Amino acid sequence: MTNPQTEFDSPWKDILQLYFEEFMFFFFPQAHGEIDWRRQPEFLDQELQQVIRDGELGKRLVDKLVKIYRIGGEESWILVHVEVQAQQESDFARRMYSYNYRIFDRYNRSVASIAVLGDEGINWRPSQFGYNLFGCRVDFQFPIVKLLDYRQRQGELEESRNPFATVVMAHLAALATRDNRTQRKQQKLNLVKRLYEQGFEREQVINLFRFIDWMLTLPSQLEKDFWQEFREYEETISMRYVTSVERIGIEQGIEQGKNQLRQGLMKGISFGLRLKFGESGQSLLPEIESIGDVDLLSAVLEAIEIVDTPEQLRQIYQPTTE
């Protein structure tokens, strides 16, 4: 199985920044109603990275820190800390608390931490961290959204014109079709057609197309088939929104992202091999470095935690055939 955390990082970051107001309205409507949207939200990504570097790193997917203004609030501005987490993590609630108080300590401003859980465990719903010691009590609670819950709300998603209805459907489709790429191609085509059928403006079509295209990656031949069917569909409705130039740009952006992802995976694999197996583990590096498939590299990285020997790990990427 691939690591969803590595698959879904870049598209979520981009779409959150493009449609933050729609994100809040879709997932947290009450909070959305308390924000003064006449004031442009400010994304403090570099500042958040400094906070994270000062703290203990965990397995993150996406984290955003947004400076916003509240309607009639006593403070002139406050902060929203957003985490999108696609993999179960035992220390997730503790890390949410840690980031929250570190951000508060840095800015001396109220901080609302919220989480979107995009993992595959229906019962994993961390939303609280705390302890009580000698009368000293910490009780940190934060709101969460579980994307798997939307599987029962497909009709609602289909009807919604909020961009994050498309985002949720694409994320769920990526989880559901991880082991069936032919089905993934069809779901990808259906999602793209929906953008046109919903009457989205060209810019929204392109932005959401880019998200869908990244989330629902396909093998080379299926990707060619998808583009052929997509072009035929555009011709039938006389709308050519995604031009050849934009397609090339989308593909180059995804390829660049995959290269960065591959570099990150290799660093993690090298460290994991050295930590778990020492010299014998390092001997596998030349073989693993020749792997071009980032999905397979992700599977290798995950497997390091559970295998007992380098030979068992080799079976992940060089399985024996009967």
| CA of residue 301 relative to chain centroid, distance | 18
Residue 156 has pLDDT above 50, yes or no: yes
Give residue 153's pLDDT band: very low, low, confident or very high (50, 70, 90).
very high
Closest CA to 175 of 158, 151, 193: 151
Give residue 306's pLDDT band: very low, low, confident or very high (50, 70, 90).
confident
Residue % of the chain over a pLDDT of 90: 41
Residue 247 has pLDDT above 90, yes or no: no
137-152 mean pLDDT: 96
Rg of the chain on CA atoms, in Å:
21
Q: Out of 29-43, 57-71, 188-202, 273-287, pick the least confident.
A: 57-71
Rounded (10°) CA dihedral 282, 285, 286, 291: 170
Cα–Cα distance measured from residue 189 to residue 174, given in angstroms and rounded to the nearest whole number: 13
pLDDT of residue 244: 44
Secondary structure class of 176 (helix, strand, coil): helix
Phi, psi of 55 (to 5 degrees): -105, -175
DSSP E strand boundaries for the chain: 42-43, 62-68, 78-85, 111-117, 128-133, 136-141, 144-146
- Predicted confidence (pLDDT) per residue in 23-80, tens digit: 999 999 999 999 999 989 999 877 777 776 654 444 445 688 999 999 886 678 999 9
Residue 142 has pLDDT above 70, yes or no: yes
CB-based contacts of 278, cutoff 8 Å, min separation 6: none
Give me 35's structure tokens.
């924000």
Give residue 4's pLDDT band: very low, low, confident or very high (50, 70, 90).
very low
> Rounded to two decimals, what is the model's pTM?
0.71
Cα–Cα distance measured from residue 209 to residue 247, given in angstroms and rounded to the nearest whole number: 10
| CA of residue 147 relative to chain centroid, distance | 11
Structural contact between residues 175 and 120, judged by C-beta atoms closer than 8 angstroms = yes
